Amino acid sequence: EVQLVESGGGLVQPGGSLRLSCAASGFTFRDYVMHWVRQAPGKGLDCISAISGTGGTTFYAESVKGRFTISRDNSKNTLYLQMGSLRAEDMAVYYCARGGTGDPLDPWGQGTLVTVSS
Amino acid sequence: DIQMTQSPSAMSASVGDRVTITCRASQDISNYLAWFQQIPGKVPKRLIYSASSLQSGVPARFSGSGSGTEFTLTISSLQPEDFATYYCLQHNSYPFTFGPGTKVDIK
């Protein structure tokens, strides 16, 4: 069974940092583009970052460019999101999802909540 | 980044109604358009990808069409479990971008 499990969310102060992880199982992880998608409370879905299977190419939405870094460790079947200079507007549930242009965003993990507050 | 719009933003419908939601892209995305359903408190679920390919396990009352910049999601006969928010997604170029969503509630 294909499974994605996020971890690392929690409470962080404005300006702080946090690293999210997404553990993948049930498929050949290195063969797939992976994404981070977030959803602020009561708001819509927002694709914030993607990374190629090798990790050599990364993409970011303007809202997080320069503050967040996506990476992956294919030996550990794990995707990461290093978040820095966190702002109140970064508060959201963060999901990881699998898939490239031909088979997008399926499946998703269950999500991890990031709360930014002093 | 490619911008996506949806209409309507919200609608009320009855069980058995035919429902159509429209999504527009700010530039040509060929057929790289997916539709997702999200029930409150749940993880989004992919219904359709590549404009018209039905996800395995999704009921045939859901269908998608369109190409280029204009797309539609149709629910042929709305069921109680279909009351949810629907999002379109362009999967033509990275980072992918979602539309703002269409909330379908009970009339």
Closest partner residue to B101 among A44, A59, A106, by Cβ?
Answer: A44
Residue B1 pLDDT: 85
User: Among candidates A77, A88, A94, A89, which has minimal Cα distance to A19?
Assistant: A94
Residue A27 pLDDT: 97
Residue B15 pLDDT: 95
Q: Does A113 touch chain B (CB under 8 A)?
A: no
Residue A101 pLDDT: 87
pLDDT band at A86 (very low <50, low <70, confident <90, very high): very high
In terms of DSSP bridges, do strands B102-106 and B10-13 run parallel, antiparallel, or are they unpaired? parallel
Chain A residues lying within 8 Å of B91, measured CB to CB: 99-101, 104-105
**Separation of alpha carbons B35 and B88, rounded Å:** 5
- Mean pLDDT for chain A? 97
Residue A111 pLDDT: 98
Residue A100 pLDDT: 87
Q: Does B46 touch chain A (CB under 8 A)?
A: yes
**Three-state SS across A6-75?**
EECCEEECCCCCEEEEEEEECCCHHHCCEEEEEECCCCCEEEEEEECCCCCCEEECCCCCCCEEEEEECC
Task: Give residues 10 to 69 of A whose Cβ lies within 8 Å of B.
Answer: 33, 35, 44-50, 59-62
Within 10 Å of residue A77's Cβ, how many Cβ atoms?
A: 16
Tokens at residue B58, please? Answer: 């999704």
Task: Give residues 68 to 97 of B whose Cβ lies within 8 Å of A.
Answer: 87, 89, 91-97
Kindly give the parts of chain B with pLDDT less than 50: none
**Separation of alpha carbons B52 and B50, rounded Å:** 6
Q: Are A19 and A79 in contact (CB under 8 A)?
A: no
Task: Note the pLDDT tens digit of each residue in A40-83.
Answer: 999 999 999 999 999 999 999 999 999 999 999 999 999 999 99
Q: Cα Rg for chain B, rounded, in angstroms?
A: 13
Chain B residues lying within 8 Å of A47, measured CB to CB: 89, 95-98
Burial of residue B41, with CB atoms counted within 10 A of its CB: 0-12 exposed, 13-18 middle, 19 or more buried: exposed
Tokens at residue A29, please? Answer: 């992880």
Tokens at residue A37, please? Answer: 């998608």
Task: Note the pLDDT tens digit of each residue in B89-102.
Answer: 999 999 999 999 99
Chain B residues lying within 8 Å of A109, measured CB to CB: 43
Output the CA angle A107-B61-B44, nearest 5 degrees.
Answer: 25
Task: Note the pLDDT tens digit of each residue in B65-79.
Answer: 999 999 999 999 999
User: Among candidates A78, A79, A61, A62, which has minimal Cα distance to A70?
Assistant: A79
**Separation of alpha carbons A90 and B73, rounded Å:** 30
Cα-to-chain-centroid distance, residue A16: 17
**Dihedral, B39, B40, B44, B46 alpha carbons, nearest 10:** 10
